[in-house]
Structure 1
């Protein structure tokens, strides 16, 4: 298991944009599984939405991308580099993510050629899929 500190040693994201609390499973270059404990204190809840806080779908995608970045940047050849978004395809949001939820974040690297790759991302709460997408990344 990787702690927040260990995650920050791999990816450059920091508060308030680090959206992964821990990594439970890691196979470098292949896949990673992490978690985000969604609290009412998240800065985006002040405006999204004040009367009914909902985690924005794009941040769910970003959280999965950060987990995928941990997987791909854990390879020795990629240490110290940054994984950038190249595209988001087939994103689907299946239910709301709200304060109190623990978001399970999974990203499997399904294709890589040189600095480009594709990850299959899934986010779930209590075993129910809340978001899935195909993420294209570039290593820079």
Structure 2
């Protein structure tokens, strides 16, 4: 297991080495802190140049809910993909529960995302994520994510 201190950070190049999302769906800019196997904190800086703002909406640009959820998910997977043995593995959603949207996110906002890993067994990660803009809650939810390469090792063989 990685022995990185909780104050360790990952720039965009390190994020790309650790997980599989790429432009235009790489939706975190920096991991500002992580404790492998426990937690990760990331930021996303929104500018009007984001691909979704012109269509959502021209007269009132704001971050679509699915983009917010994906930003949370990408931070969540960093709680375990920052561990050497899982680095770069593919992940898949299993479930998303208790999602709440508390505020509109607009161009110029910096979203801070905090993820906590509660359990990671047999390729199934469970935890919670919350986000905020300037300390004001934005979006939160509980996530279950699978790592198929690990999960497959535990499937019954016929």
Shared topology, TM-score over 0.5? yes
The partner residue of 1:19 within 11, 24, 27 is 27
Q: Does 1:136 align with 2:149?
A: no
**Length, aligned pairs only:** 140
2:40 maps to which residue? 32
CA separation in 2, counterparts of 1:98 and 1:76?
A: 35
CA separation in 1, counterparts of 2:104 and 2:88?
A: 34
- Cα offset for 1:64? 1.1
Alignment of 1:84-99 (within 5 A): 84-99=92-107
Q: Give the match's secondary structure for 1:87.
A: strand
Q: Give the match's secondary structure for 1:43.
A: coil
CA separation in 2, counterparts of 1:53 and 1:89?
A: 26
Alignment of 1:121-132 (within 5 A): 121-132=129-140
1:112 maps to which residue? 120
CA separation in 1, counterparts of 2:13 and 2:87?
A: 16
- Cα offset for 1:60? 0.9
Structure number with the higher strand fraction is 1
- Structure 2 alignment gaps of length 5 or more: 1-8, 149-158
Runs of 4+ in 1 over 3 A off after TM superposition: none
* TM norm structure 1: 0.96
2:154 maps to which residue? none
Contact map agreement 2:19 2:87 (CA 8 A) in 1? no
> Which string of whole-angstrom CA distances, capped at 9 and with x for unpartnered residues, describes residues 15-49 of structure 1?
11111100110111111000000110110111111
Q: Does 1:7 align with 2:15?
A: yes
Q: Based on CA coordinates, which of the two structures has the bigger radius of gyration?
A: 2
Q: Once superposed, what is the RMSD of the aligned Cα atoms?
A: 1.0
> Which string of whole-angstrom CA distances, capped at 9 and with x for unpartnered residues, describes residues 59-114 of structure 1?
11110111111221122221231121111100000010000000001111112221
- Cα offset for 1:132? 0.7
* TM norm structure 2: 0.85
CA separation in 1, counterparts of 2:113 and 2:29?
A: 10
CA separation in 2, counterparts of 1:85 and 1:37?
A: 24
Contact map agreement 2:17 2:87 (CA 8 A) in 1? no
